[in-house]
């Protein structure tokens, strides 16, 4: 086991750098997410019979994520952005090309085809313009301009390719515009797992 893996295990963070590891993790995430929802509206995508069975404790019996991205689609996204994605993000896309049920105020982890620089997304460019117009936000604006946006909604998930660790992982950020807060994580996997932990 590498020093990096030992450090991740010691911190309790998931080691998610293969599609197989992500698939197992995402199946557990699915179950936990669905068990914590308290509104019928959260289950409109299920038919009535499946929903009743689910409420009675039956397993869902199907994959709730997206189909895996192909290596070609992943390579095209990386070429378009001029970067190679960090290991945990690449493995995530090869397990599920996007994710629709994220805990918190993030609606969707984008498929690789829709990952973009924050400065080039509609919502991101608006946020950057607002922050740039207010004195004292220079560090935020610099971070936003150099980060890719991998998930959005009311909040943003951002990855900074200029801040990579020895394991090749990029520093990840949860940005909450409502409060003007930026929370930092060592990797995409650990940012994703933050929502999983919150559901405990």
Rounded to whole angstroms, the Cα distance separating 84 from 168 reads: 10
Q: Quick one: pLDDT band at residue 47, thresholds 50, 70, 90? A: low
Q: At 40, is the pLDDT very low, low, confident or very high (cuts 50, 70, 90)?
A: low
pLDDT in tens, 72-115: 999 999 999 999 999 999 999 999 999 876 766 787 899 999 99
Distance CA 135, CA 3 (A): 42
% of the chain surpassing 90 pLDDT: 59
* Residue 65 banded pLDDT, cuts 50, 70, 90: confident
| pLDDT tens by residue, 165-198 | 999 999 999 999 988 999 999 999 999 998 766 5
What is the Cα–Cα distance from 8 to 13, expressed in whole angstroms? 5
The alpha carbon of 9 is separated from its chain's Cα centroid by a whole number of angstroms, namely 20
Q: Can you say whether residue 12 is alpha, beta or left, with left for phi > 0 and alpha for psi between -120 and 50 degrees?
A: left
29: Cβ contacts below 8 Å, ≥ 6 apart: 196
Give residue-wise pLDDT tens across range 135-169.
999 999 999 999 999 998 889 999 999 999 999 99
CATH superfamily of 3-198: SMI1/KNR4-like (3.40.1580.10)
Q: How far is CA 168 from CA 45, 130, 153, 162, in A?
A: 37, 32, 27, 11
Break the chain into its structural domains and give their ranges.
3-198
Residue 35 burial class via C-beta count within 10 angstroms: exposed 0-12, middle 13-18, buried 19 and up: exposed
Residue with tokens 């918190």: 104
């Amino acid at each position: 086991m590498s020093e990096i893996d030992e450090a991740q295990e010691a911190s309790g963070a998931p080691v998610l750098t293969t599609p197989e590891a992500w698939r197992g993790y995402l199946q557990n995430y699915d179950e936990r997410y669905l068990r914590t929802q308290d509104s019928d509206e959260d289950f409109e995508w299920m038919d009535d019979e499946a929903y009743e069975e689910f409420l009675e404790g039956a397993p869902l019996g199907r994959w709730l994520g997206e189909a895996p991205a192909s290596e070609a689609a992943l390579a095209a996204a990386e070429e378009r952005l001029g970067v190679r994605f960090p290991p945990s993000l690449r493995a995530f896309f090869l397990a599920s090309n996007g994710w629709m049920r994220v805990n918190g105020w993030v609606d969707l982890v984008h498929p690789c085809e829709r990952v973009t620089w924050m400065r080039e997304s509609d919502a991101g460019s608006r946020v950057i313009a607002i922050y740039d117009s207010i004195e004292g936000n220079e560090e935020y604006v610099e971070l936003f301009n150099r980060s890719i946006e991998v998930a959005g909604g009311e909040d943003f998930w951002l990855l900074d390719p200029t801040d990579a660790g020895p394991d090749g992982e990029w520093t990840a950020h949860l940005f909450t515009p409502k409060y003007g807060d930026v929370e930092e994580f060592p990797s995409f996997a650990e940012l994703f797992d933050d929502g999983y932990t919150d559901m405990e």
